[in-house]
Amino acid sequence: MFNIEEFDIKLDTEFIGRNFIYCDEIDSTNTVLLNNKDFSQNGTVLLAEYQLKGRGRKDRVWISNAGQNLTFSVLLKHDLKEYNVNVINLGASLSVAQAIENLYQLNVELKWPNDVLVNKKKIAGILIESTSKANKISKLAIGIGINVNQPNFPGKFEIQPTSIRREFKELVSREKLLSEVLNNFETMVDIAHDEPTKVLNDWRNRCKMIGEKIKIIEDDKMRTGLFEDIDENGFLILKAGDKTEKIHYGDVSLR
């Protein structure tokens, strides 16, 4: 059972998580935050012990044992035109990475565009979704799933999953971890507005694939080349021969 009082004591934010909603079971935290008018306060956090329709990119199913992990979403809705959504996406994964590093001294790596890895295994993922009015983003839901205390992951996966418990060799306080992630994320939102290049540079420093030969699958089309860098919008710059192109999304792996 998630201890809300313990979480609240450790939360050190101005607006992220100050409206905190906890539920045992829900379809999808992103979907509810975007579509439920009752949850409209900027910075609202919705934490679910279990998601019936939890998902990652491309509607892939996100499987998470109830009560063992963290599956939650953060709602942003103020001055969204002032932000680059892709920088927010990279900043969210960076916030998770920093929390895991600070609390558990694990070596964390980031994988474009939204995966958090420990020992080359996936420990967390980000899914950003939005709603729009008059061709402008009106709400942004940042969905975050972190494998915390789940002991095993049966099945076959493109990237083998792991959990903090498996890597740290101890049970982990979900309350402490969530507060740390949200504290980091509020700081990250401010930096993404004022100094987006700092977010991009910090992300680059944790992405081991930059400079490596990769293959990327985008809409069933495979490209290969050198992962040269990310640009000012967080897009992947792929170099193949004497040509470079910007990739907006896709599944990346080493060649």
Tens digit of each residue's pLDDT, the chain (255 residues): 899 999 999 999 999 999 999 999 999 999 999 999 888 899 999 999 998 865 454 445 556 788 999 999 999 998 888 899 999 999 999 999 999 999 999 999 999 999 999 999 999 999 999 998 878 899 999 999 999 999 999 888 889 999 999 999 999 999 999 999 999 999 999 999 999 999 999 999 999 999 999 999 988 889 999 999 999 999 999 999 999 999 999 999 998
Which CATH number applies to 213-254?
2.30.30.100
pTM (predicted TM-score): 0.94
Where exactly does CATH 3.30.930.10 map onto the chain?
A: 4-206
Q: What kind and span of H or E run contains 103?
A: helix 85-104
Q: Round to whole Å and give the CA distance between 164 and 230.
A: 28
For domain 4-206, the CATH class is alpha beta
Where exactly does CATH 2.30.30.100 map onto the chain?
A: 213-254
Q: Round to whole Å and give the CA distance between 41 and 43.
A: 6
The answer to whether the Cα torsion of 37, 147, 124, 97 is positive or negative is: positive
| Amino acid sitting at position 167 | E
Tell me, rounded to whole angstroms, the distance of Cα 18 from its chain centroid: 20
Q: Round to whole Å and give the CA distance between 12 and 241.
A: 49
Q: Say how many Å lie between the first and final Cα of the chain, rounded.
A: 43
Q: Round to whole Å and give the CA distance between 57 and 241.
A: 29
Q: Round to whole Å and give the CA distance between 192 and 44.
A: 19
DSSP letter at 69 equals S
